[in-house]
Structure formats: structure tokens, C-alpha cells
Amino acid sequence: TINPTVNALSTILIVVASSKVIFDFLQHKKNTADQRK
């Protein structure tokens, strides 16, 4: 069985990684929109 602590850490890492990807994507879209002005 997977250690619950390891499982929780893995979940947190996945969430953080996903958030970073989404944040980077939004920043990139924002920057692209700003450049069009």
C-alpha cells in the first residue's frame, strides 16, 4: 500500500504543478494581448 503521507505529497505536487502551468499559460495570454496594443 502507498504511504498516506507520500500520497498526500504527490497530490499536492500535482496540484501545484498544474497551478503553475495554468498560471504560466494565463500570463502568456495576457502578455500576448498586451503586445497587440
Residue 37: pLDDT over 90:
no
C-alpha cell at 16: 501545484
Residue 12 has a CB neighbour count (10 Å cut-off) of 10
| CA dist., res. 20 & res. 28, Å (int) | 12
Confidence of residue 4 (pLDDT cuts 50, 70, 90): very high
| CA dist., res. 33 & res. 37, Å (int) | 7
| CA dist., res. 20 & res. 27, Å (int) | 10
Total-model pTM: 0.62
C-alpha cell at 6: 507520500
| CA dist., res. 9 & res. 33, Å (int) | 36
Which sequence spans correspond to the domains of the chain? 1-37
Confidence of residue 21 (pLDDT cuts 50, 70, 90): very high
